[in-house]
Amino acid sequence: QNKVLVAMGMGVPVVMSSLISKAIPELESGTNCIIEDADQAFADACLRMMDNEADRNSISRSGYDTVRKYYSWQEKLSGYDQLNADS
């Protein structure tokens, strides 16, 4: 799952299986990634990302925004400052 987040954080459109997507609850197929389980559907989604610039850019931007919103260092470490203050 970290590889998915790294790719999305770099603006790469990601096609993955539902097994992988379950670990990242903010994923929504067709919005910030593509989730496909069937071999042909997975291959077709990959080809669509390569051939369709508008879809590729939309998925890339939304995936990037999702990572920035939910998985940035600032977001993930936001509660730690309070822990130190309470000690």
Q: Domain for residue 46, yes or no?
A: yes
* Residues paired with 29 in a beta bridge: 33
Q: pLDDT of 41-82, one tens digit each?
A: 999 999 999 999 999 999 999 999 999 999 987 777 777 767
CB–CB of 14/33 below 8 Å?
yes
What is the rounded CA–CA span in Å between residue 77 and residue 51?
38
How many domains does the chain divide into? 1
Q: Domain for residue 82, yes or no?
A: no
Q: Domain for residue 28, yes or no?
A: yes
Q: Domain for residue 83, yes or no?
A: no
Q: Domain for residue 49, yes or no?
A: yes
The percent of residues in the chain predicted with pLDDT above 90, rounded, is: 79
For residue 15, the surrounding DSSP H or E stretch is strand 15-16
- Secondary structure (3-state) at 20: helix
Domain that holds residue 33: 2-77
Q: Domain for residue 10, yes or no?
A: yes
pTM to 2 decimal places: 0.83
